[in-house]
Amino acid sequence: MNWYSKPPMIIGVPKETFPGERRVALVPGALPALTKAGLDVLIESGAGREAGYPDAAYQEKGARIAARRAEVFSTADLILQVRGFGTNPEAGRADLELFKPDQIVIGLHDPLSFPNAAKELAGRGVTVFALELLPRITRAQSMDVLSSMATITGYKAVLLAAETLPRMFPMMMTAAGTIAPTRLFVIGAGVAGLQAIATARRLGAVVQAYDVRPAVKEQVKSVGAKFVELPLEAGSAEGEGGYAKAMDEAFYQRQREMMARVVAESDVVISTAAIPGKKAPVLITAKMVEGMAPGSIIVDLAAENGGNCEKTEAGRTVTVHSVTIIGTVNLASTVPYHASQMYAKNIATLLLNMISKEGKFQLKMEDEIVRGTLVTRGGEVVHPQVRALLGLPALPASGQKEI
């Protein structure tokens, strides 16, 4: 086992450069745990400003402020980012020449969707950890960035719908008559879907939900929604890590046919169905949109991966047959204060899992969390799934054991 640096190890946090990205990888409240572990923290000036964290707040917690971005990359042993190169391919390209060989980078890289970006980082000799690949095990829950961001996304999706819908959500008994509650349908009962259900119920909507995984029925009911039963043979619809897995097109066709009635009866549909590393399945067809009442809303949380609605346009709000379709992307960034707070807690916990008592970085390949998130090392793409996507041969098992 090799140590990457002598203490104090320097953690660098550059400002995010993806258009519209307001989050920051570390917040001041996360610094005490890192400094206690013997780490030094260097923040690019202004990195936390848009999230509500000024430079002075970082300095009060012991961080140093770098006036120039290049200083962060040239000084830091380890870089923490929200969006790594894979999830920021255009603006992030300017950082490639700033990376140093053996520099460690932890962040969202989406290597299953953008394996070539991982290959480019490997070419720079960078050691990359992708948070999307965190194994879904109990010990990793406190590091689970995807769940944290999905919580915010599900919450904000309902607020977007409520703001756009020409109706009020709760039932009201007034002198002018009774106002019926909004009928809201959630497709996909993962973290985002469950949070959307809970938020919509708090606002007074009548909520139904569907998921291809029958096992989530009790979770749906526990947050106040009715689980929609579709007589479909899903078989083993749950993939590795508890995510829904991709089904064949015949299954999706039958699913759409049976779901059409529920969609038509709903004032709001929030779709969250996504398959890691794959295009989102189309669950709401153009014909289904046409069957919805004028003024209805679809919030498509899978827009960035192609969308669950056939008419979704990523990053845009469009109107089709008097139905508003919101193809929102990067929704967590619209709540940057708490999104950054949650992200920072997750990434700091992951980092501390790889820091020794002496404040040194260590790679324990016997640790499932380390092994599962490591994408590149020593000029090579080392993650088996990413290598397969690149058409690279499997590495010898001996090359994976010791670092």
Cis peptide before 8 (omega within 30 of 0): yes
DSSP 12: E
DSSP conformation class of 68: S
If one looks up domain 9-143+336-400 in CATH, what number appears? 3.40.50.720
Structure tokens at 31: 């610094």
Pick the CATH number of 153-329 from 3.40.50.880, 3.40.50.720, 3.90.1150.10, 3.40.50.620: 3.40.50.720
Which segments of 16-118 are extended strands (E)? 39-44, 64-66, 78-83, 104-108
DSSP classification of residue 317: E
> Which string of DSSP letters, residue by residue, matches 311-360?
T--TT-EEEETTEEEE---SGGGGSHHHHHHHHHHHHHHHHHTTB-TTS-
Residue 130 pLDDT exceeds 80: yes
Q: What is the pLDDT of residues 41-77, one digit of tens each?
A: 999 999 999 999 999 999 999 999 999 999 999 999 9
Going by C-alpha positions, the residue among 372, 370, 374, 334 that lies closest to residue 355 is 370
CB count in 10 Å sphere of residue 92: 20
Kindly report, residue by residue over 355-394, the tens digit of the pLDDT.
Answer: 998 888 998 899 999 999 999 999 999 999 999 999 999 9
Closest CA to 329 of 299, 286, 309: 299
Neighbour count for residue 207 (Cβ, 10 Å): 26
Residue 47 near residue 57 (C-beta atoms within 8 A)? no
d(CA 133, CA 374): 8
How many CB atoms are closer than 10 A to CB 97?
A: 9
Which helix (H) or strand (E) segment holds residue 218: the answer is: helix 217-222
Could you give the count of Cα atoms lying within 13 Å of 86 in the half-sphere of its Cβ?
26
Is there a common fold for 9-143+336-400 and 153-329?
yes
Whole-number Å distance between alpha carbons of 174 and 335 = 34
- Phi then psi for 19, rounded to 5 degrees? -55, 125
pLDDT tens for 238-297 read 545 445 555 667 777 777 778 899 999 999 999 999 888 789 999 999 999 999 999 999
As a whole number, mean pLDDT of residues 87-94 equals 96
SS3 at position 121? helix
Nearest CA-CA partner of 79 in 11, 133, 141:
11
Mean pLDDT value of segment 222-231? 89
What tokens were used for 157? Answer: 């999706």
> Residue 207's pLDDT band (boundaries 50, 70, 90)?
very high
Please state, in angstroms and rounded to a whole number, the distance separating the CA atoms of residues 271 and 233: 21
Give the chain's length: 403
* Active site residue ranges: 136, 141, 144, 147, 243
Give 44's strand partners: 66
CA angle 95–134–193, rounded 5-degree value: 105
Residue spans per domain, the chain: 9-143+336-400, 153-329
